[in-house]
Amino acid sequence: MNILILGPQGSGKGTQAKRIAVEYGVAHVATGNMFRAAIAAGTTLGLQVQPLLASGQLVPDDLTIGLIRARLQEDDALDGFVLDGFPRTMAQAEVLDAMLAGIGRRLDVVLELLIAEEICVERMLGRAREEGRGDDTPEVIAARLEVYRRETVPVVEHYRATGRLVGIRAERTPDEVFAEIQDTLEQVEERA
Ligand code: AMP
């Protein structure tokens, strides 16, 4: 199954994507994690993207697309994947659609985590205190949500138009959200 999960920062996207990957045996493909790993390893890519992550700005499309193109060809992604944090811009979405069409694959379902922005902000501030993530300061949180509204909401609308987008009520506990995702994925499997 090829799954895309969309939602603003703080919506629980990463947590849910990780659970989907484990439960359904698909690859968890998270560009944010890949960039953080590159930064931690001190690679050329890491050095390039570090200031962008620190300020909440997007990494340029060409770098991000190159990374994803290679990642989706790895063995563990051949049977299915859950995309988390990509695509974040319309240019990325168009490349993804073309890339999948080119290899005869498609997104089976697009999950949209529905949540009020104030709750995302509260959660991110909580996460900043617990994990010390450098991009969870109030200024950077505001910047990231602004980027989401400007660049990623059009991506949500693009996938809504395909008829394969399903809204998931994300203002609840992680277990409740995951139960709704499981119901949705079961319906998708039955349809397939
Ligand atoms: P995330 O962990 O998904 O919240 O991503 C953390 C940061 O990585 C973002 O704020 C961006 O700076 C960068 N990033 C992750 N995914 C993408 C993407 N698809 N396009 C551009 N930048 C990205």
Helical residues (DSSP H) of 5-151, grouped into ranges: 13-24, 31-41, 44-55, 61-71, 90-102, 117-131, 138-147
- What pLDDT score was predicted for residue 134? 67
- Among residues 18, 105, 123, 133, which one is catalytic? 133
The atom number, within ligand 1, closest to the CA of 68 reads 19
Would you say the CB of residue 35 lies under 6 angstroms from ligand 1?
A: yes
CA atoms within 13 A on the CB side of 89: 14
| Nearest alpha carbon, ligand 1 atom 6 | 32
Catalytic residue among 127, 160, 164, 172: 127
Which string of b and e fits 116-131 if b means at least 16 CB within 10 Å? eeeebbebbeeebeee
Q: Tell me which residue has tokens 């900043």.
A: 128
Task: Give me ligand 1 centre to Cα 37, in Å.
Answer: 12
Residues of the chain with pLDDT under 70: 134
Give the ligand 1 atom nearest the CA of 147.
10
Instruction: Identify the residue whose tokens are 């930064």.
Output: 39
State if residue 11 touches ligand 1 by the CB under 6 angstroms criterion. Answer: no
Q: Which residue out of 31, 137, 155 has the highest number of ligand 1 atoms within 8 Å of its CB and is therefore the one to mutate?
A: 31
Is 172 labeled as catalytic in the residue annotation? no
Nearest to 73 by CA among 45, 43, 103, 101: 103
Specify the DSSP class assigned to residue 148: I
pLDDT given at position 106? 94
Q: Is the CB of residue 144 below 6 angstroms from any atom belonging to ligand 1?
A: yes
Token digits of residue 69? 């193109």
- Peptide bond just before 138 cis, omega within 30 deg: no
- For the Cβ of 27 lying below 6 angstroms from any atom of ligand 1, the answer is no
Question: pLDDT digit string (tens) for 106-147?
Answer: 999 999 999 999 999 999 888 877 877 767 888 999 999 999
**Does ligand 1 come within 6 angstroms of the Cβ of 134?**
no
**Active site annotation includes 36:** no
For residues 78 and 92, is the Cβ–Cβ distance under 8 A? no
Phi, psi of 155 (to 5 degrees): -70, -40
Q: Rounded to two decimals, what is the model's pTM?
A: 0.95
CA 14–ligand 1 middle distance (angstroms): 12
